[in-house]
Amino acid sequence: MATRPREIDGYRQDAGFTWPDEVPWSLLGPAFVERWGRPDGQVQPEHVEITGQSGSGKTYVLVTLLQERALMRDSSEILIITKKADDTIHRLGWPIVDNWRDLQRYKQVIFWPQTSSVGHEREVYHEAKIYELLTRLWTPEANTVVAFDEIGYIEDLPGPGRHRNRLKRLIKQYWREARSHGITIVAMKQRPIGVVRDQHSESRWKIVFPAADEDDFDRFAELLGPPRDWVPVLRSLQKRQFVIRNSYSREAYISWIDYDVQPIPAQSHPPDRTAREYLHGRKKRA
């Protein structure tokens, strides 16, 4: 690990703090994907939260994690989006569906409930479709990676009548209990506020980009540890760089994606059949 001054920009770092090494993702990524969800060599889902301003590169990190895991471990994966997929998400080359029946045909899939509605009606439609998806997926040995493109928006979607907050409550349940069903959560957010607290407490891996607003640096740094230690690190990052840290082992690195994400050839022509085993019963490879 590199050695740095103990006081930077008015932040006096702890004497025991070690500045993270800088390692490109082409070197760090394969080791991470191999270990992700397999601490101590045993299968145990580990949730991930990715935080960064718009344009920081967080979506590129998300699709890289998902594609590398699919390539290395053939995991069942669902990416939930609520707006038109940008070029970054299209790099996955995954099929796009908007209902549970079609979703079951594919091992890796983008779930996008499309609608021409606007405003409140649009939000109500999104809530109903995503709530149905997450409810159906909640079964023993689901063994699936569920990724949210913008989890703050999804949590705030309004449910019907007295059940207005049912989706937020279900997502809280996912954070607390999904591991017991073999479900891994990957969640993206532009700022570390406006989400259920369980996201911060239950996610094992934190990926954090520098804040856009100077007043937000402390909040971003708190995801990693004491702000006095981590604000200087975040401020030092170059464009597209991020910090990845394991909140349990406390190992941390500065990294960046240094290669292009490409579709996996087999995903270009996925099997055209309904197969429940794509989403269930994949204990060894989830």
Q: What CATH number does the domain containing 69 carry?
A: 3.40.50.300
Q: Is 103 inside any structural domain?
A: yes
For 29, residues 6+ apart whose C-beta sits below 8 A from its C-beta are 64, 68, 255
pLDDT confidence band for 282 (50 / 70 / 90): very low
Helices (H), 76-159: 87-90, 100-103, 119-137, 151-155
Query: Given a cut of 70, is residue 71 above it in pLDDT?
Result: yes
Question: Average pLDDT of 11-32?
Answer: 89
Q: Is 192 inside any structural domain?
A: yes
pLDDT confidence band for 2 (50 / 70 / 90): low
**Residue 110's pLDDT is what?**
96
pLDDT confidence band for 197 (50 / 70 / 90): confident
Query: Given a cut of 70, is residue 148 above it in pLDDT?
Result: yes
Query: Given a cut of 70, is residue 283 above it in pLDDT?
Result: no
Scored b (16 or more CB within 10 A) or e, 6-27 reads eebeebebeeebebbeebebee
CA atoms within 13 A on the CB side of 187: 29
Domain of residue 34 covers 7-263
Render pLDDT for 226-243 as a digit per residue (tens, 0 to 9). Answer: 999 999 999 999 999 999
For 54, residues 6+ apart whose C-beta sits below 8 A from its C-beta are 190, 212
Q: Is 272 inside any structural domain?
A: no
Q: Is 142 inside any structural domain?
A: yes
pTM of the model: 0.88
Higher pLDDT, 281 or 118: 118
Count of beta carbons in the 10 Å neighbourhood of residue 91: 18
Render pLDDT for 159-174 as a digit per residue (tens, 0 to 9). Answer: 998 899 999 999 999 9
What are the DSSP E strand ranges found in 172-241? 184-189, 203-208
Query: Given a cut of 90, is residue 94 above it in pLDDT?
Result: yes
Angle, vertex CA 183, rays to CA 200 and CA 273, nearest 5: 140
Render pLDDT for 39-70 as a digit per residue (tens, 0 to 9). Answer: 877 889 999 999 999 989 999 999 999 999 99
pLDDT confidence band for 13 (50 / 70 / 90): confident
Q: Is 285 inside any structural domain?
A: no
pLDDT confidence band for 8 (50 / 70 / 90): low
pLDDT confidence band for 276 (50 / 70 / 90): very low
Give CA–CA dist 51/57, Å, rounded: 10
Count of beta carbons in the 10 Å neighbourhood of residue 158: 16
- Domain total of the chain: 1
Q: Is 228 inside any structural domain?
A: yes
pLDDT confidence band for 274 (50 / 70 / 90): very low
Among residues 32, 49, 16, the alpha carbon closest in space to that of 208 is found at 49
Give CA–CA dist 106/266, Å, rounded: 11
Higher pLDDT, 273 or 183: 183
Q: Mean pLDDT over all residues of the chain?
A: 89
**Residue 10's pLDDT is what?**
59
Q: Is 280 inside any structural domain?
A: no
For the chain, give the number of residues: 286
Q: Is 2 inside any structural domain?
A: no
Scored b (16 or more CB within 10 A) or e, 60-90 reads bbbbbbbbbbbbebebbbbbbbbeebeebbe
